[in-house]
């Protein structure tokens, strides 16, 4: 795996990043394009207050093909009524003209403040300004161009075993099904020749156990979007090897997102096993990783396993029996077997690290899942209390 940000895009993709004055002087426009329609798939927020970018992208991806993705950062263009939808379609049209493709083949994602219309005059002027710009953006440029409150850019890349093809991705924000309003956007590119149908089913499966298992605060953005495109440049790639590389890249990005949660100082990974099934394991893992009391305990380096027990207990499934549950922090069992005072002190040191594992076994069957989140800190409160509408 390579997280280097000066990687090129996979064969068959080109990118532009620019500042077109949406909010300030940082980059706020990203376009990734191919030389013609290619196989593509997307996963979007389940919010009922969804933005027009998501509506338009859902519409444009129904045929499982796309020629370009455009991202506007710093303004989510959500809750702006008909004007918002008109503006989203105009951004798509401007992108299509710039790329030289059909508007129907352009996907669009937005992230930023809600309820403020796009500055369309500025955006139109910005598209005119980039007309002569070369398509030279690297993976890291794209990752930086889609950032809002992120403190570091997030990229990941993996070679598909048995081939020269790669899967490369960028992401921003914090979550998917349960994300911060900072909105999660992920763009995954591969030069492996994967059919649209396989791309869709594989991406949906992988997103479910990676991006959908990231949770910063249980809130759900109006704009979350994850898109994958295959340029098809490299043939004869094994589907299993592709899924494995995709899982590696998406897991890596999911962990980077969790580690960069607003105010986060510690990445929390929760592993739940011996569940009835994967779905139950995921519910319990998310209940733990979302619990403000678990998150603050870890922030305080306090091995307070009682709060983990509480978070397991609030998943009110009849087959969860406290007499069969085992709770561990790192590899150390804390319940039912109790630890000594000295061991508690060692655990407190462990909890001061950058990364913490909570491992719960339910003693029911063999369902397993992981979830990722972060500690809850004074920094989270300050960032979100002081962020201005």
Is residue 382 a contact residue for a second copy (CB under 8 A)?
A: yes
Interface residue with a second copy among 114, 142, 158, 268 (CB under 8 A) is 114
Tokens of 82: 């008909």
- What span, in angstroms and rounded, lies between the C-alpha atoms of 189 and 157? 9
CB of 352 to a second copy, least distance (A): 12
Tokens of 76: 């989510």
- What span, in angstroms and rounded, lies between the C-alpha atoms of 74 and 10? 27
Is 151 labeled as catalytic in the residue annotation?
no
Contact positions with a second copy (CB under 8 A) in 52-111: 76, 78-79, 81
- The closest of 139, 125, 102 to 8, measured between CA atoms, is 139
- What span, in angstroms and rounded, lies between the C-alpha atoms of 208 and 308? 24
What SS3 state is found at 287? helix
The catalytic position among 45, 95, 111, 183 is 183
Interface residue with a second copy among 98, 172, 282, 299 (CB under 8 A) is 299
Binding mask 11-50 for a second copy (x = CB under 8 A): -----------------------------------xxxxx
Is residue 372 a contact residue for a second copy (CB under 8 A)?
A: no
Continuous segment of H or E residues that includes residue 365: none
What SS3 state is found at 85? helix
Give the list of residues 6+ apart from residue 59 with CB closer than 8 angstroms, or none: none
Continuous segment of H or E residues that includes residue 141: helix 139-145
Tokens of 387: 């962020």
Interface residue with a second copy among 196, 293, 326, 357 (CB under 8 A) is 293
Is residue 349 a contact residue for a second copy (CB under 8 A)?
A: no
Using the contact rule CB under 8 A, the part of the chain among 14-22, 185-193, 217-225, 233-241 near a second copy is 217-225
Interface residue with a second copy among 200, 202, 221, 230 (CB under 8 A) is 221
Catalytic residue ranges? 183
**Interface positions with a second copy (CB under 8 A):** 46-50, 76, 78-79, 81, 113-115, 180-181, 217-222, 290-293, 296-297, 299-300, 302-307, 309-317, 320-322, 325, 335-336, 338, 344, 376-378, 380-382, 384-389
């Amino acid at each position: 795996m390579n997280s280097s940000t000066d990687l090129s895009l996979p064969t068959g993709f080109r990118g532009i990043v620019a500042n077109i004055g949406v909010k300030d002087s940082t980059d706020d426009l990203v376009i990734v394009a191919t030389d013609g329609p290619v196989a593509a798939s997307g996963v979007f927020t389940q919010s009922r207050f969804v933005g027009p970018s998501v509506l338009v992208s859902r519409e444009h991806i129904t045929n499982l093909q796309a020629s370009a993705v455009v991202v506007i950062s710093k303004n989510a263009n959500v809750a702006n009524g008909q004007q918002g939808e008109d503006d989203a379609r105009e951004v798509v049209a401007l992108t299509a003209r710039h790329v030289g493709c059909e508007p129907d083949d352009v996907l669009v994602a937005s992230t930023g403040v809600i309820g403020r219309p796009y500055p369309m005059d500025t955006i139109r002027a910005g598209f005119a300004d980039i007309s002569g710009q070369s398509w030279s953006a690297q993976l890291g440029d794209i990752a930086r161009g889609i950032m809002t409150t992120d403190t570091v850019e997030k990229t990941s890349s993996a070679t598909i075993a048995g081939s020269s093809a790669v899967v490369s991705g960028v992401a921003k924000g914090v979550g998917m099904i349960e994300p911060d309003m900072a909105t999660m956007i992920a763009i995954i590119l591969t030069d492996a020749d994967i059919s649209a149908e396989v791309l869709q089913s594989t991406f949906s499966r992988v997103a479910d156990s990676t991006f959908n298992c990231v949770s910063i605060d249980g809130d759900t953005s109006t704009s979350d979007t994850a898109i994958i495109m295959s340029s098809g440049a490299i043939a004869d790639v094994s589907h299993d090897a592709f899924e494995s590389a995709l899982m590696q890249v998406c897991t890596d990005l999911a962990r980077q997102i969790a580690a960069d949660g607003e105010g986060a100082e510690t990445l929390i990974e929760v592993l739940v096993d011996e569940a009835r099934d994967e779905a139950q394991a995921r519910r319990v893992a998310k209940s733990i990783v979302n619990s403000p009391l678990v998150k603050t305990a870890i922030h305080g380096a306090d091995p307070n396993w009682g709060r983990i027990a509480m978070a397991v207990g609030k998943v009110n499934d009849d087959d969860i029996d406290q007499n069969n549950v085992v709770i561990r922090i790192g590899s150390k069992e804390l319940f039912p077997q109790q630890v000594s005072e000295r061991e508690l002190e060692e655990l407190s040191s462990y909890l001061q690290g950058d990364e913490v594992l909570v491992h719960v076994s339910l003693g029911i069957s063999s369902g397993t899942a992981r979830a990722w989140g972060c500690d809850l800190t004074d920094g989270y409160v300050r960032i979100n209390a002081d962020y201005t509408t």
